[in-house]
Amino acid sequence: MTQANKNIFYILMILAMAGWGASWVNAKVLSSYVNEYEMIFLRNFFTIITLAPVLIITKKYFYINRHSLLLAILASVIMIVYLKCYFLGTMHGTASLGGALVTTLIPINTFIFMALFFGKKILKKDIFALIIGAVGVLTMLNIWSFSYEQVFSTQNMYFLGASILWPALTITSSKITKTSPMVFTLYMYIISTILVSIFFVDFSAVNYEAFDSIFWINLLILSVVSTTFATTIYFIGIEKLGTNEVSSFIFLVPFFAIILSIIFLKEEIHITTIIGVILTIFAVKILNNITIFKKKKVEQ
């Protein structure tokens, strides 16, 4: 990939991260129109019809083997519970805290899961990073206020649940064999949509008349931009640039979530949230050996 193409792709990656950050704002707005299962169905429906053509264009097609299909079923169940925590946490709390707390805590929890259950070696620098990450999370939860009600509030519990469920989903997805991650993702959306349709959504009770332009704008951004576009760019980025370089862009998500929450939801951002985000991002950087600013080689 030439430097010019890289620069274009960097811009696309930034837009993708903005889309992920915006998803928390979209969910907050949609919570006044639909419940969590209706949101899952609608989001997944529009994601499926926009992601399928992408797979055809990129020649991924729709092949999935039996092993990966079984994992897709398991991942679908985990994703439904994750999206429920994501939606209810945002509905009861703020989009800014959800985007900041969950996004920064996910890679930390993933590292802990890999260490506890899959034998990942923990170095001294990792212990140091985990301590910093813990302080950062506690700061975002405002533990220093010593208020039991505030620390263990409903939204915080949902956000913490989401930050645990996503690593479980990531690890499950990593076990697929001979199947494109994007194809696996499509099947996961299809299966989860079928499950919520059968067991959780009462279509006759949905208030369709309340779906105004604000609803549709936020739903389409959540499904098309935050999911189809952002996920596609992320996976292509891994193929073209490598996991380590793409991972550095993840740090932009909490800041986009905070900035967009201030602009569109008029949320008040506490200094503890900002400090906590900085600390947890520093912890993730150490844990994953991520280099944000690369040194340029000096030509001789």
Dist CA 91 CA 225 (whole Å): 21
Read out DSSP for 6-55? Answer: HHHHHHHHHHHHHHHHHHHHHHHHHTTTS-HHHHHHHHHHHHHHHHHHHH
Decide if 252 contacts 102 (C-beta within 8 A).
no
* Residue 242 CB neighbour total at 10 angstroms: 10
Decide if 216 contacts 30 (C-beta within 8 A).
no
* Residue 287 CB neighbour total at 10 angstroms: 22
Decide if 187 contacts 64 (C-beta within 8 A).
yes
Q: What string of pLDDT tens digits covers the 300 residues of the chain?
A: 566 777 888 899 999 999 999 999 999 999 999 999 999 999 999 999 999 999 999 888 889 999 999 999 999 999 999 999 999 999 999 999 999 999 999 989 988 998 888 888 888 999 999 999 999 998 888 777 757 777 778 999 999 999 999 999 999 998 998 899 999 999 999 999 999 999 999 999 999 999 999 999 999 999 999 999 998 998 888 777 776 677 778 889 999 999 999 999 999 988 989 999 999 998 988 887 766 555 554 444
Give the torsion sign (CA, 200, 201, 205, 210). Answer: positive
* Residue 276 CB neighbour total at 10 angstroms: 27
Q: 179: Cβ–Cβ under 8 A, 6 or more apart, which residues?
A: 63, 64, 65, 68
In this prediction, residue 287 carries a pLDDT of: 82
Structure tokens at 112: 């802990």
Decide if 144 contacts 273 (C-beta within 8 A).
no
Dist CA 265 CA 259 (whole Å): 10
In this prediction, residue 150 carries a pLDDT of: 72
Can you give the pTM of this predicted structure? 0.89
In this prediction, residue 127 carries a pLDDT of: 92
Structure tokens at 271: 């200094």
Dist CA 261 CA 283 (whole Å): 24
In this prediction, residue 298 carries a pLDDT of: 46
In this prediction, residue 290 carries a pLDDT of: 65
Decide if 250 contacts 103 (C-beta within 8 A).
yes
- Can you tell me which residue has the tokens 């703020």? 94
- DSSP label at residue 269: P
* Residue 121 CB neighbour total at 10 angstroms: 7
Backbone angles phi, psi at 194, to 5 degrees: -65, -45
In this prediction, residue 292 carries a pLDDT of: 53
Mapped onto helix, strand or coil, the DSSP state of residue 62 is coil
Structure tokens at 124: 């001294």
Mapped onto helix, strand or coil, the DSSP state of residue 219 is helix
Decide if 33 contacts 215 (C-beta within 8 A).
yes
Q: Where are the domains of the chain?
A: 3-287
